């Protein structure tokens, strides 16, 4: 039946998060890392998610990479395009959500899109255009301390208006409560007023269903993975999807177990503490990494020794806001991040060669760095560990079992995620 949905994700954990929800809703989905250079066989594939690392790069680069992804997805026949960004709307006044959405709209010749970051099962909801994480407004959720894109304003209409010269409007809950027809009429009325970007309130899955029904014919939709839970049903109703029984099952895993964490988000910090209460870990320090190779070598030696004892092992740069700020004050934000990402990427490359077969990576940027360091091009999506985080698999050379890889968004997962993840693997 061909590719129905073509998605462009601005980071790698976000891509697996969306792919996970699509698979769970019955779409056969492939996740590719960057725009594929070689032709890809997409028989029996309903959705393709192109994972970019475009959340925190300069806006011009994010735009050109996203347009390249769109061109490729359209060449594969995708009927609808989905720009996936973070459920906490991670961005800065310079972008990249606004500039990328504007460029995608232009390329598609479309006049309007919706912005649906909500992911209710993980506590991300939107009311009167304000984003909540659990019972806290975004700017009081921990995200105000994010190392790369601190989110200090929960009013998404205001946030997006700073990133785009186009008009931003709101589809409020009161309209959604009246159903898909009323929502469509509201979108049309906003369109007549030249409102290009419509932030959608969303309190729960029912709101998501209403939005999905109202926007299924839009060339471009944007948001978090919540919308990915409900769009497949709309495609099915239009007869665009074949019935499948099992969209995601993985092969048996093998090899030793490693966790690499570069996320400083609140949930990850709790997961690191929980892990360290039961197993051993090595704390990477950006300032020491900057001094020369010995700190990274010490991390490698530590991991090798503990992996030989049976693991699992954790190597983490995750640190509380004060320590992050202290490192950034000396090194600059970008360099501090790059040192950590390069170090974790190096560790992954080395330790996978030496026998790690089950790898959890925490953090979106961090996952981008690790997946790039491992040279991975496509991922198979498998069982969910926690909402938004599936196990994925990548073939390894020789007769080794495939590498099982979980890319965990910073704020996703329960406190015991780093240990429980290995228990749910086949």
Ligand X SMILES: O=C(O)[C@@H](O)C(=O)COP(=O)(O)O
Ligand Y SMILES: Nc1ncnc2c1ncn2[C@@H]1O[C@H](COP(=O)(O)OP(=O)(O)O)[C@@H](O)[C@H]1O
Residue with tokens 């926690």: 386
Residue with tokens 């997962």: 413
Q: Which stretch binds ligand X (CB under 6 A): 6-14, 92-100, 321-329, 347-355?
A: 6-14
Per CB under 6 A, contacts with ligand X among 263-302 are: 265
Closest approach of Cβ 100 to ligand Y, in Å? Answer: 17
End-to-end CA distance of the chain: 31
Residue in the shown chain whose Cβ atom is closest to ligand Y: 410
Q: Does the footprint of ligand X cover residue 409 (CB under 6 A)?
A: yes
Residue in the shown chain whose Cβ atom is closest to ligand X: 364
- Encoding tokens for residue 257? 């177990």
Other beta carbons within 10 Å of 204: 12
Nearer to ligand Y, 35 or 283 (CB): 283
Q: Does the footprint of ligand X cover residue 222 (CB under 6 A)?
A: no
Q: How are the residues of the chain apportioned to helix, strand and coil, as percentages rounded to the nearest 5?
A: 40, 20, 35
Closest approach of Cβ 30 to ligand Y, in Å? Answer: 23
Q: Does the footprint of ligand X cover residue 411 (CB under 6 A)?
A: yes
- Encoding tokens for residue 94? 């310079």
Tell me, residue by residue from 266 to 285, as one string, x for binding to ligand Y by CB under 6 A and - for no binding: --x-----------------
User: Taking CB within 5 to 8 Å according to partner kind, which of ligand X, ligand Y, none is near residue 264?
Assistant: ligand Y
Per CB under 6 A, contacts with ligand Y among 120-179 are: 146-148
Which of 66, 59, 63 minimizes the C-alpha distance to 7? Answer: 66
Q: Does the footprint of ligand Y cover residue 410 (CB under 6 A)?
A: yes
Is residue 166 within 8 Å of residue 196, measured between CB atoms?
yes
* DSSP for 301-342, written as a single string: HHHHHHHHTT--EEEE----HHHHHHHHHHH-HHHHHHHHHH
CA-CA distance, 217 to 304, in Å (whole number)? 52
CA-CA distance, 289 to 283, in Å (whole number)? 11
Q: Does the footprint of ligand Y cover residue 386 (CB under 6 A)?
A: no
How distant, in Å, are the alpha carbons of 10, 15, 81 from that of 61? 12, 18, 19
Q: Any residues with CB less than 8 A from the CB of 183 and at least 6 apart, and which?
A: 171, 175, 176, 210, 211, 213, 214
Nearer to ligand Y, 218 or 344 (CB): 344
User: Taking CB within 5 to 8 Å according to partner kind, which of ligand X, ligand Y, none is near residue 387?
Assistant: none
Tell me, residue by residue from 302 to 341, as one string, x for binding to ligand Y by CB under 6 A and - for no binding: ---------------xxx---xx--xx-------xx--xx
Is residue 10 within 8 Å of residue 96, measured between CB atoms?
yes
Q: Does the footprint of ligand Y cover residue 366 (CB under 6 A)?
A: yes
Q: Report the residue from 16, 265, 271, 393 that binds ligand Y according to the rule CB under 6 A.
A: 265
Q: Which residues bind ligand Y (CB under 6 A)?
A: 146-148, 262-265, 268, 286, 317-319, 323-324, 327-328, 336-337, 340-341, 363-366, 409-410
């Amino acid at each position: 039946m061909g590719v129905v949905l073509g998605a462009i994700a601005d980071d790698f954990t976000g891509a697996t998060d969306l792919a996970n929800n699509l698979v769970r809703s019955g779409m056969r989905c492939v996740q590719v890392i960057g725009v594929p250079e070689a032709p890809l066989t997409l028989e029996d594939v309903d959705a393709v998610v192109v994972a970019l690392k475009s959340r925190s790069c300069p806006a011009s680069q994010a735009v050109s990479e996203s347009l390249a992804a769109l061109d490729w997805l359209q060449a594969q026949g995708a009927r609808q395009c989905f720009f996936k960004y973070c459920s906490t709307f991670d961005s800065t006044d310079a972008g990249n959500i606004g500039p990328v959405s504007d460029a995608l709209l232009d390329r598609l010749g479309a006049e309007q899109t919706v912005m649906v970051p909500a992911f209710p099962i993980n506590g991300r909801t939107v009311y009167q255009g304000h984003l909540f994480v659990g019972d806290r407004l975004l700017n009081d959720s921990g995200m105000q301390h994010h190392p790369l894109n601190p989110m200090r304003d929960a009013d998404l209409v205001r946030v997006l208006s700073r990133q785009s010269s186009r008009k931003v409007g709101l589809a409020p809950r009161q309209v959604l409560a009246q159903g898909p027809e009323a929502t469509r009429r509201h979108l049309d009325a906003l369109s007549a007023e030249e409102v290009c970007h419509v932030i959608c309130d969303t309190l729960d899955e029912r709101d998501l269903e209403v939005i999905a029904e109202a926007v299924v014919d839009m060339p471009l939709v944007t948001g978090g993975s919540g919308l990915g839970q409900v769009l497949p049903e709309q495609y099915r109703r239009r007869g665009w999807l074949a019935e499948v029984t099992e969209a995601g099952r993985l092969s048996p895993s093998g090899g030793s177990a490693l966790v690499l964490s570069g996320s400083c988000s609140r949930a990850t910090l709790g997961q690191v503490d929980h892990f360290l209460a039961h197993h051993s870990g090595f704390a990477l320090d950006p300032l020491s990494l900057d001094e020369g190779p010995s700190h990274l070598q010490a991390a490698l030696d530590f991991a090798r020794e503990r992996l030989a004892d049976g693991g699992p092992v954790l190597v983490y740069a995750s640190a509380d806001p004060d320590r992050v700020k202290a490192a950034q004050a000396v090194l600059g934000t970008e360099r501090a991040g790059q040192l950590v990402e390069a170090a974790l990427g190096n560790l992954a490359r080395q330790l996978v060669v030496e026998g790690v077969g089950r790898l959890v990576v925490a953090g979106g940027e961090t996952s981008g760095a690790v997946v790039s360091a491992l040279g991975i091009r496509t991922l198979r999506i498998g069982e969910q560990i926690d909402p938004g985080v599936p196990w994925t698999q990548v073939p390894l050379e020789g007769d080794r079992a495939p590498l099982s890889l979980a890319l965990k968004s910073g704020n996703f997962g329960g406190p015991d995620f780093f240990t429980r993840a290995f228990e749910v693997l086949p």
